[in-house]
Structure 1
Amino acid sequence: MVRTAGVGAVALGLVLANCPFSVAGQKEAPVLCATKPAPPTTGATISPPITSGPDVWSFVSEPGLHPMRVDVKTWRPGTASGRIFVGPYNFSQVVGQTGALMNRNSGDPVFFRPLPFSNLQDADIQAQTYRDRRSGRRQPVLTFWQGTITIPPAYTNLPAGAPQPGGCYYIYDNHYRLLKTVFARNGFDADFHEFLLTSRGTALFIASKAVPMDLTPYGGPANGAIEDHQVQEVDLATGKLVFFWDMLDHVNPADSELPASDAVTSGGVWDAFHMNSIDEGSDGDLLISARNMWALYDISRKTGTINWQFGGKKSDFTFGPGADFFWQHDARFRPGNRISMFDDGCCATSSSPPEQESHGLILDVDYRHRRATVDRTYFHDPALFAASQGNVQALPNGDQFIGWGQESYYSEYAAPGNTQGNGRRNLLYDVMMPGSNVSYRAFRYEWTGLPDYPPSAAARADDGRSLVYASWNGSTETAAWQVLAGPTPDSLSVVVRHARRSGFETVIPTPSRGPYFQVRALDARGKVIGTSNVVELGE
């Protein structure tokens, strides 16, 4: 059934204190959220991040930032415009800091919001549109989940890939000011797998909770639990929970492809469903993906009933050659009676053999005859077998952007795609992350960042001259830099009128000995759009 409820106001949150981002003016007191990781449930130690070396960026003007340095394998003409959004983390030792990262095609960072603990992660980093229901105003925003992902051996109280308690969702404006912090309701935990802003001024997301249950009928422990999931929708203006749909109320866990005996390795909790995406159709009904059921469900928003099941043990559809899928993620409605997904295809459990190679998959769906056939596929070279995660994003120019989940790649393909064994056909862009870093999803979006904090600068002596280092974390509009210098902080004059921006940090040589320096950010028309604090040579 469909449930609605009225609850308290959505809490607003502060970002971590060591990050240069602010809270936009608002009446409600902000609430801190997920600024520390969940305590490990075992005695296993958590490795600190690798913050130096060839696979990590380091900057003189921003010494606290150490994002991963990616390897661009392929970059051909024809890619869509926009920046790339990822949330790097690792199942052992992360290379670079965890956090929300935005890169250029070149691999240079544009924006990085680092986290102070390697077992604190950001996930599902997206550029979305936020509609203020009260004013009707729409604005571009940056959204992401923050919290701790269950990664053994440090966490064994929940199934691997589940959210630990304490996570939340953040919404930032394009000045990097915190607008909203959103929490799950009904005693559930905010789940990193999905957070969607709607044109109604609401947020749709997945919430998870372990529900105690005797699992012996399913082959599991008597004193076990099942990882339940809800679709929840919160009105961002009022904070009210306006809709929720509970998976355990509507889907029989006996149909799971994951044996209940697996619960013995996760604190007795069986991940029977593993809901991992929500999409909203033009009729308002919802498309739900449940990885461990190998199935998608079309849910009536009005009645809560399941209109149809797509895949799994009780599928209402049949599938043509190559159209079947396993352990899937990121199911989306597409125009023309199509559905897309990332078909992990393989190895989600230690006991399951690879069913098929991971790939992006778009299906033609004949709703009248209840049959699905392959429209297009997107394979990688070398072949990849992702045990979890991943996504397929439709880009405005018709390309498809694919995050390969637990495999350390993200790629862009021209619309026609390719076939198995021909993974380089129509490949336009391909990047490998360092070490064994992964990102739950990867996206490409247009984004204009205008920070409300100043640029950063540093100056160093170098063989009789001065090197000035300039950066502005998150600025997409900085095209060049001016450098000012002088003998006192109050007597600065321009010594370099125009130094073209080069990557995240621009190094600018100047004959001036200062010892005081300042930089000004210039846009493409030469207008000053930001001014740093004054710094002293050698600071």
Structure 2
Amino acid sequence: MRPLLPLFSVTLASLSYCFAQHASPTTPVPLGVQTYLSRPDIQPLRWLVQVFDKDRLAPGYWFVSPYDINGNTQPEASWIGPHIYDGDGELVWSGSHMFNNINVMDFKILPVKGEELLSMLYAKEGRAYLLDKHYRVRETVFTGDSGSVFNMHDFHTVEDGGKYLYLQRNITYASREMALEQLGYDGECFLVFPGFEERDAVTQDVLFKWDATGKIPLSDSTMDYSPVERRCREHWDFLHSNAIDKFPDGNYLLSTRHSDTLYKISKDDGSIIWRLHGLGGPRGDFEMARNLNFSRQHHARFHEQNATHTIISLLDNAMGADPQPATSKWSRALKIALREDTQPMTAELIASYDHPSHHHAFRRGNYQTLPNGNAFVGWSERALQSEHAEDGTLLMQAALETKMPNMGSYRAFKFAFVAAPDYPPDIYSAASTAADGTCVTTVHVSWNGATEVARWKLYKSDVAGAIFVELADEPRSGFETALSYTGYAKYVHVQALDRNGKQLAFGRSKIFDTVNVSELDAAAVAAEHAWLLNPVAKGAGWLGHSWFAIFAGGAAVGCVFCLAVAWAMRRGVLGSQWAARLRGRGGPAYRAIALHDVAEFDEAALDAVEAKRRLRPSLDFDGEPFELHDDDSDEDVDGTPSTERSLGR
């Protein structure tokens, strides 16, 4: 770890596509971007991580969607979009390619209809996407036309995942009468009114729809610094909603940043039940504790409730990108206890977690309470995130290494998560000559999204993968692991193992034809060709493998069949015509080359054997045919260097 300085409409892209369409591993990338040989299309941002007390950290992975302020609808670089990282800042999963490298917001895990799903908002299509543990799209939820109704800030589930809650907006003209009465402006005013919908997760029926028009006055806004004529001409976002939640009594909690206010909204008629204004006073309905204030807030959430108190949380940005003065010295994550049964109603601060560098996160952010009571806070700028113990002790902080302008995150979360991709790992194998003249085959392997890999085993095999020999066994070392073998292996594959040494489903890669990146030792190449001609004599492993069981079983059945036919022919059970046909099978039309007759390397014999083998269909390890790339020149048809022989996810 490096020390941290103080601080569609496009259709969803397939998870499987050829590396030939991706950038070469040698393509220059900006500072702070990681690259991989096995997945050159994946280029995540690197992290600067500082851990102060590892033992007190909650288990789990970081869920972050790096965000560029200019990348909402236009394709950006492959570090934009949903990503999962481990606690060391190592990539676990990149979903950038699924969304055409366009900004994806509010990436997290949500309970949905009895299971945990990955959730994110895709502004390009105005939809929420829900993915399962295999990273397959389980469902999409249309939340509003992009550019008009769609609000990218919050998609949430309530009532054990049975209801969807999401924000919307209504861009419309206020009446001349409203503008004159509330603003003193005699003219039309173009406004953005916030709203939200609640939808049944099973039937997709809209159960409740709310709009601020006529319910929240324009005078509630504290984003009123420019002349009113200019505001009314330029789509005045006078409230700017950014979070929606639901109370146990069925009423709703709405956060609007440009009023510094949380609203409780009636489930019955949509009226405002109360206002919690961050600065108290006549704008709000609560008497605020002396140590409590907030402004330009994000991510308001209901937590729990008893007979007297309601507990909520929010991120107090305390400052925005506007002229309003800061209300605190730095941004904080706050937990607040409300009493609604007293006169006046009261709000009390019960927990506060400070920005690690005592700065202001003036644009975005969020606050999550983890299962062990820790607080996990996203501060947005450079995707800074921190984890704190319940008593406020800072346990960890991390930020993106990049210095690219406008790079950050909208929210950051931490979840325990187990994923099981149903596609194979990706590998890149290259053979080269070491300084001492020996041949070395180095294989880089990754499995995008897999969380259970503990070790990798490397094998060499024949072209069809029917027989293979173990070459190396290494523990997983980050997103991409390198395995080396002293010698030349023309065809290789890998197998993923869990922490108990068990083979993981879909954890065996396709066969990869090794790329020769330098002139190789002739003896090593000849030895490999000799092995391919006679793998059994050279120690190929059949016993203990499923292929041996298949071949042995087939051989046994064949022997029984032949004996039965011989007996029937001898007894006259088969007709003379059939007996003659059976005796006549074979003949001079085809003569197989006996591998054991090849005493030494013979190029002509090798070509003949390889040609014969290619007449058989090649199978992958799930029993499905796959295309075998035979490329002796290490170049594709178009003349570009070939860097893969398997499909990527």
TM range (shorter): 0.7 to 0.9
**Correspondence 1:86-101 to 2 at 5 A:** 86-91=64-69, 97-101=79-83
- 1:54 CA drift (Å): 4.4
- Residue of structure 2 aligned with 1:327, choices 293, 296, 305: 296
Give 1:191's aligned residue: 151
In the alignment, is residue 204 of structure 1 matched against residue 165 of structure 2?
yes
Q: Which deviates further from its counterpart, 217-226 or 276-285?
A: 217-226
Contact 1:98/1:118 (8 A) holds in 2? no
- 1:487 CA drift (Å): 4.6
- Residue of structure 2 aligned with 1:174, choices 133, 136, 140: 133
Give 2:430's aligned residue: 460
Contact 2:254/2:265 (8 A) holds in 1? yes
Q: SS in structure 1 opposite 2:82?
A: strand
In the alignment, is residue 140 of structure 1 matched against residue 116 of structure 2?
yes
Cα deviation 1:200-237 (Å, max 9, x = unaligned) = 52211111231123685437794542112221122233
Give 1:348's aligned residue: 321
- Residue of structure 2 aligned with 1:105, choices 67, 74, 87: 87
Q: Which runs of 5+ in 1 are unaligned?
A: 1-10, 22-49, 132-137, 149-165, 418-425
Cα deviation 1:413-445 (Å, max 9, x = unaligned) = 00112xxxxxxxx10010011225211110001
In the alignment, is residue 449 of structure 1 matched against residue 425 of structure 2?
no
- 1:172 CA drift (Å): 0.5
Give 2:196's aligned residue: 231
- Residue of structure 1 aligned with 2:63, choices 85, 94, 113: 85
Distance change in 2, residues 1:223/1:338 (3 Å): same
Q: SS in structure 2 opposite 1:307?
A: strand
Cα deviation 1:319-352 (Å, max 9, x = unaligned) = 1223111101111223353221100001331x22
**Correspondence 1:132-531 to 2 at 5 A:** 138-147=114-123, 166-184=125-143, 189-198=149-158, 199=160, 201-213=162-174, 217=180, 218=183, 222-259=187-224, 261=226, 264=230, 268-311=234-277, 314-335=283-304, 337-349=310-322, 351-356=323-328, 357-367=330-340, 368=342, 369-406=344-381, 408-417=383-392, 426-433=393-400, 434-435=402-403, 436=405, 437-462=407-432, 463=434, 464-496=439-471, 498-529=473-504, 530-531=507-508
Give 1:152's aligned residue: none
Give 1:156's aligned residue: none
- 1:238 CA drift (Å): 2.4
- 1:497 CA drift (Å): 5.5
Structure number with the bigger relative contact order (C-alpha 8 A, sep ≥ 6) is: 1
Q: SS in structure 2 opposite 1:269?
A: coil
Distance change in 2, residues 1:60/1:306 (3 Å): same
How far apart are the structure 2 equivalents of 1:502 and 1:293? 48
How far apart are the structure 2 equivalents of 1:181 and 1:169? 6
Q: Which deviates further from its counterpart, 205-214 or 120-129?
A: 205-214
Q: Which runs of 5+ in 2 are unaligned?
A: 1-7, 18-26, 516-642, 644-649
Cα deviation 1:266-309 (Å, max 9, x = unaligned) = 97101111111112222222111111111001122233222211
Q: SS in structure 1 opposite 2:420?
A: coil
Over the aligned positions, Cα root-mean-square deviation in angstroms equals: 2.8
Contact 1:140/1:173 (8 A) holds in 2? yes
Contact 1:459/1:517 (8 A) holds in 2? yes
TM-score (norm 2): 0.67
Cα deviation 1:439-465 (Å, max 9, x = unaligned) = 111000111111111111111123311
Contact 1:194/1:205 (8 A) holds in 2? yes
Distance change in 2, residues 1:290/1:509 (3 Å): same
Contact 1:56/1:96 (8 A) holds in 2? no
How far apart are the structure 2 equivalents of 1:265 and 1:305? 26
Letter in 1 for 2:336: L
Distance change in 2, residues 1:241/1:397 (3 Å): same
How far apart are the structure 1 equivalents of 2:232 and 2:421? 42
Percent of aligned pairs sharing the same letter: 28
- 1:53 CA drift (Å): 4.4
Q: Which deviates further from its counterpart, 483-492 or 446-455?
A: 483-492
- Residue of structure 1 aligned with 2:13, choices 13, 16, 31: 16
How far apart are the structure 2 equivalents of 1:315 and 1:520? 61
Q: SS in structure 1 opposite 2:418?
A: coil
How far apart are the structure 1 equivalents of 2:249 and 2:161? 14
- 1:245 CA drift (Å): 1.3
How far apart are the structure 1 equivalents of 2:143 and 2:213? 17
Q: SS in structure 2 opposite 1:99?
A: coil
Cα deviation 1:487-511 (Å, max 9, x = unaligned) = 5243551323532111011111123
Letter in 2 for 1:516: Y
How far apart are the structure 2 equivalents of 1:334 and 1:520? 44
Q: Which deviates further from its counterpart, 515-524 or 198-207?
A: 198-207
Q: SS in structure 2 opposite 1:292?
A: helix
Computing the radius of gyration from Cα coordinates, the structure with the larger value is 2
How far apart are the structure 2 equivalents of 1:116 and 1:130? 21
Distance change in 2, residues 1:467/1:306 (3 Å): same
Contact 1:449/1:477 (8 A) holds in 2? yes
Contact 2:188/2:232 (8 A) holds in 1? no
**Correspondence 1:34-53 to 2 at 5 A:** 52-53=29-30
- 1:392 CA drift (Å): 0.7
Cα deviation 1:110-160 (Å, max 9, x = unaligned) = 1111148898201100111210xxxxxx22210001125xxxxxxxxxxxx
Q: Which deviates further from its counterpart, 117-126 or 473-482?
A: 117-126
Contact 2:461/2:493 (8 A) holds in 1? no
